[in-house]
């Protein structure tokens, strides 16, 4: 917790920040060396309530967390509003529209951009309706040059912001990892996960020198 602030002041500012992110959209980096089940639960939360009108782009890049319905429950009732994109992993076996990208990072960013465009209307999307999840950045960094991955992030996060959407990008490394520190400025916030009897999360907003306490997942 940043020094010089009372706990009540931090809680108030944290609540205000979350409201702003929901209202204008955001991109979040999800980090932590935790079991797959914790990250899948986090991803499902950021994809939003399945009963609300959302437009979801699920991007799976070489992760073992490949079960679509672990992230978007009841997706079978929302086929026209969910798209799955796979890269560095097996093509998705699901009932929603899917696209498998065999080639490079630029092609992956094009596929994500095209999926977002397919959901846009003349009036645009309402704030927070678009939800994009990428799992995981670790596979991309293992395969490609870091500069190429950061260009991909710049393009995709820009498209999400342009649609007032909410994007989450999973990177299962510790919060104090050097690469996490390097990536943090590209995002509106970093959400850190740990296991302490149960799954917990802690939000970091580097641009505002703001950090939440550990919260139940």
DSSP state of 212: P
Tell me: the pLDDT tens digits for 43-94?
999 998 878 889 999 999 987 665 676 777 655 555 668 899 999 887 767 7
More confident position, 68 or 105 = 105
Average pLDDT over residues 13-27: 89
Q: Where are the beta strands (DSSP E) in 68-112?
A: 82-87, 98-100
pLDDT at 181: 95
- Which segment of 34-43, 95-104, 138-147 scores lowest on mean pLDDT? 95-104
pLDDT at 182: 96
Distance (Å, whole) CA 185 – CA 154: 11
pLDDT at 1: 39
Strand partners, 59: 85, 134
pTM: 0.92
- Judge whether 132 and 59 are in contact, CB under 8 Å: yes
pLDDT at 63: 76
Average pLDDT over residues 14-33: 92
Average pLDDT of the chain, as a whole number:
88
- Which segment of 39-43, 90-94, 121-125, 198-202 scores lowest on mean pLDDT? 90-94
Distance (Å, whole) CA 83 – CA 56: 6
């Amino acid at each position: 917790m940043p020094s010089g602030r009372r706990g009540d002041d931090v809680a108030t500012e944290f609540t205000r920040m979350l409201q702003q992110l929901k209202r204008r959209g955001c991109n979040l980096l999800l980090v932590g060396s935790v079991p797959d089940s914790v990250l899948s639960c986090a991803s499902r939360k950021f994809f939003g309530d399945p009963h609300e009108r959302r437009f979801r782009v699920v991007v799976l890049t070489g992760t073992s967390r490949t079960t679509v319905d672990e992230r978007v429950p009841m997706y079978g009732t929302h086929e026209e509003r969910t798209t799955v994109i796979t890269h560095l992993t097996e093509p998705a076996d699901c009932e929603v529209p899917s696209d498998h990208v065999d080639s490079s990072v630029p092609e992956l960013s094009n596929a994500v951009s095209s999926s977002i465009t397919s959901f846009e209307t003349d009036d645009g999307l309402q704030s927070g309706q678009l939800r994009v999840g990428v799992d995981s950045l670790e596979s991309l960094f293992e395969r490609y040059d870091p500069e190429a991955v950061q260009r991909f992030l710049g393009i995709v996060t820009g498209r999400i912001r342009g649609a007032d959407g909410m994007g989450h990008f999973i990177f299962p490394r510790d919060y104090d990892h050097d690469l996490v520190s390097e990536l943090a400025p590209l995002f509106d916030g970093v959400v850190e996960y740990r296991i302490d009897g149960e799954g917990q999360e802690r939000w970091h907003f580097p641009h505002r020198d703001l950090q939440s306490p550990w919260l139940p997942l």
